[in-house]
Amino acid sequence: MSKSVHPADKQTIWITGASSGIGAALVRMLAGEGHFVIISGRNRDALLELQKPAPKLVKVLPCDVGDDASMAEAGALLRDITDQLDLVIACAGTCEYDDDLSLDIASYRRVFDSNFFGVVNTLRVALPLLNNVRAPVFVALGSLSSVVGFPRAEAYGASKAALQYFMDALRADTSNVALRSVLVRPGFIDTPLTRENDFEMPFLMAPDEAARRILSGIRRGKSVIDFPRRMSWPLRLLGFLRPVWFAVCAPRMTRIKKLRRG
């Protein structure tokens, strides 16, 4: 397979979780700017639809970031497509709530496979190609849920907290090399995933607005991109005032009134 060629002043970008939500919005914006964008996700049909407006600039690479075999195959195909990556944005993710502390291990593993190990898999595959450019950037989509412990979010929040630590450690380990790591922590975004939520989502944001904020933060050289501020700042304050969160906020939010008996 011949490798794609594009203008020297444009970037080669790989986006996972590109079939919907923030990932799809980023694809539309970046391809609209003339960048060459490789898009990945599990929904091939959605990816092909996203490719239609710019078939020469958008390359479809279906894969499951949480599946090691799928990512090994994707890595080989990725190297056929390009010799380098300027920017990687790991957007793939999922959410499953633990409504009654059932502690279903299969559910927790699904969430971690996508939200945490999926990012590790993405970086593992992309790193050799990121090393081939002067100023590579690796971006991972976390969540403001990692700031404090939310009821029902034991699996989801823990996966995002693990991701946050991973990105902090990555940033520390790349202090003396060119790779820049960026953690994005959004609030509630209007996506197919959040539309399944059965609770009020304050400051709900459209994917296009979230994508604009992410690209702005990346281009301004930020290492952590939090938004919206009216949600992130109170949560960060409550992160410092944890007794207030657990004494006042959490009891009003939890649905559990008593533990299940064995």
User: Within 13 Å, how many C-alpha atoms sit on residue 112's CB side?
Assistant: 12
Averaged over 105-127, what is the pLDDT?
97
The CA radius of gyration of the chain, in Å to the nearest whole number, is 19
Q: Quick check: 1 pLDDT over 50?
A: no
> What's the pLDDT band for 127 if we cut at 50, 70, 90?
very high
3-state SS of 24-73? Answer: HHHHHHHHHCCCEEEECCCCHHHHHHHHCCCCCCEEECCCCCCCHHHHHH
Q: CA–CA distance from 20 to each of 71, 82, 85, 172 (Å)?
A: 20, 24, 22, 31
Higher pLDDT, 235 or 41: 41
pLDDT (tens digit per residue) in 165-205: 999 999 999 999 999 999 999 998 988 888 888 778 788 89
Averaged over 43-71, what is the pLDDT?
97
pLDDT (tens digit per residue) in 140-172: 999 998 988 888 899 999 999 999 999 999 999
Q: Quick check: 72 pLDDT over 50?
A: yes
User: Would you give the end-to-end CA distance of the chain in angstroms?
Assistant: 58
